Chains A and B, each alone.
Chain A
C-alpha cells in the first residue's frame, strides 16, 4: 500500500465550478502537507503548504488538512481553463517529500 493515495482522474468540470481534490495518507508522523501544480512537460510548482491540521487560503485556493482522518483537500473556486493541469499532493518526512500520483484536472470553457 502506498503511503499517499490520490485518485489519478481525470476530473473534468465546467469553467466557474468549485473543484475538490483529495489525498489520503497512512503515516501519522507527517507534519507538512503541500499541493503542487504541474503543467504538461513542466516541473511541479508549489501552490501552498500547510502545517499540521487546519485550513489555509490563498486567493481562489484553499487547502485543508484533517490529521484525525489522514485526509487532505485542495479546493479551487471559480475554476478557469488555465487551472487545467495535474495537481499533486505531497507530505514531508524531514527533507524527503512523499508524493501522491497526481490528479489530472480539466476545466472546460
Chain B
C-alpha cells in the first residue's frame, strides 16, 4: 500500500475485555514498531520487529500486552483484560531497515484510538 494502515481507527471497549489492533506496514519495510501516545505525552516505545529476528519487547508495560508479526508483514497488538489506563492512541510505524529507524526515518499510520470505559 501507499502508507502504513492501521485498524480499527477507533475502539471503545469495556474494562476487562480483550482488544486486537492491526498494522499493515509499507511493502518492503523490514522494521516495524509499535508506540503508544497518551494525552499530552510523548510517544512511548512498546515493541520492535526487524525481519526474522526475535522482537524487542522491552517496552511492553505488562504481560497483558503482546504482539506478533506474521510473514514479516502484518502485525497485531493484543491487549488482554483492558484497564482504563490502557486508553491511548496506539501508533504503528515501519522503516526500510533498522538504520533508517535510528535516523528516525519512520512512517507512521494514523493510529488506533483506544478508549476503555
Contact = CB atoms under 8 A, between A and B. Distances in A.
A36 B41 CA distance: 14
Nearest to A47: B104
Interface stretch (A14-22, A52-60, A67-75, A86-94): A86-94
Contacts of A46: 104-106
A81 interface: no
B105 A49 contact: yes
A43 B50 CA distance: 21
A21 to B, nearest CB: 14
A101 interface: yes
B93 A99 contact: no
B110 A41 contact: yes
Given A94-B102, A95-B31, A95-B98, A43 B42 contact: no
B65 interface: no
Instruction: State the main secondary structure of chain A at its contact with B.
Output: strand
A92 B41 contact: no
Interface size class of A (residues with CB under 8 A): 20 to 34
B111 interface: yes
A95 B42 contact: no
Interface in B1-53: 4, 31, 33, 35, 40-45, 48, 50
A43 to B, nearest CB: 3
Nearest to A99: B42
B41 A101 contact: yes
Contact of B104 (A8, A34, A43): A34
A45 interface: yes
A82 to B, nearest CB: 18
A8 B101 contact: no
A95 B103 CA distance: 8
A8 B108 contact: no
A92 B59 CA distance: 15
Contacts of A28: none
B110 to A, nearest CB: 5
Which 3 A-B residue pairings sit nearest by Cβ, starting from the closest?
Answer: A43-B108, A99-B42, A34-B104
